[in-house]
A = this chain, B = another copy of it.
Amino acid sequence: MTEPIQRRARATRANLIAAAEAIVAREGFGGLRVEQVVKAAGVAKGTFFTHFADKDVLMEQLVAKRLSRLMDALQTARRPSSAKGLAATLGPVIELLTCERYVFDLVQRASLADGPIAEALSRLDIIITGWFGGLFGAPPFRTDLSPKVMAEGIRAFTLMAMARHVARPGKQTEPIKALATQVEAYLMPPE
């Protein structure tokens, strides 16, 4: 569960993760089966569960890894100067987290618990908070709220936009546009 001690165990774990990544690349996150993973890694099923408390824990790691890469990119991005720009900046994140229904559900469950996904998302909060300047927001955004509250609001809107997107397969729900509307209403109220 925690980082293994012996070299053999570390190798096993790495094999499991590598096998899982290959399967995800081929069949998507939702298509992964634990039996497949252990077979590909050449270990017994029970071994899987000595390394990961359950399937979700592994999946969280895989998703978090990708999410983390997006955070690296965002960290060097320019501070957006409008609500629309802010929404657009979040585009890649939205795309990843809504690429499959399975992924979205997983993230939703994990987004406020302890774990790598919550960690990655809190990085996002920190980045956004940074964009808003110091203790309070900075123009052109409103300046009466703490960045923490603002970041949480943005997170709520983002989740909502993604949820609608994922719930309506087929229909183009334009999550980024919907997000921009809400973010603008929230961060740039009239006057």
Chain A residues in contact with chain B, CB under 8 A?
105, 108-109, 111-113, 142, 144-145, 149, 152-153, 155-157, 159-160, 163-164, 167-168, 181-182, 185-186, 189-191
Chain B residue numbers with a CB within 8 Å of A167 are 111-113
Complex formed: what's the CA distance from A145 to B189 in Å?
10
Chain B residue numbers with a CB within 8 Å of A182 are 149, 152-153, 156
Chain B residue with minimal CB distance to A165?
B112
Chain B residue numbers with a CB within 8 Å of A153 are 157, 182, 185-186
Q: How far is the CB of A161 from chain B (nearest CB, A)?
A: 8
Chain B residue numbers with a CB within 8 Å of A145 are 185
Q: How far is the CB of A177 from chain B (nearest CB, A)?
A: 12
Chain B residue with minimal CB distance to A105?
B109
Chain B residue numbers with a CB within 8 Å of A156 are 156-157, 159-160, 182
Contact (Cβ within 8 A) B105 A163: no
Chain B residue numbers with a CB within 8 Å of A168 are 112
Complex formed: what's the CA distance from A108 to B105 in Å?
9
Q: Which of B144, B159, B160 contacts A152 (CB under 8 A)?
A: B160
Complex formed: what's the CA distance from A108 to B145 in Å?
28
Complex formed: what's the CA distance from A186 to B108 in Å?
23
**Which of A109, A111, A156, A167 has the most chain B CB within a 10 Å cutoff?**
A156
Q: How far is the CB of A10 from chain B (nearest CB, A)?
A: 30
Q: Which of B155, B157, B163, B190 contacts A112 (CB under 8 A)?
A: B163
Chain B residue numbers with a CB within 8 Å of A109 are 105
Q: How far is the CB of A167 from chain B (nearest CB, A)?
A: 4
Complex formed: what's the CA distance from A80 to B163 in Å?
28
Q: Which of B142, B149, B159, B190 contacts A144 (CB under 8 A)?
A: B190
Chain B residue with minimal CB distance to A150?
B185
25 A/B residue pairs, CB under 8 Å, sorted by A: A105-B108, A111-B163, A112-B163, A112-B164, A112-B167, A113-B167, A142-B189, A144-B189, A144-B190, A145-B185, A149-B181, A149-B182, A152-B160, A152-B182, A153-B157, A153-B185, A156-B159, A156-B182, A159-B159, A159-B160, A159-B163, A185-B186, A186-B186, A189-B189, A189-B191
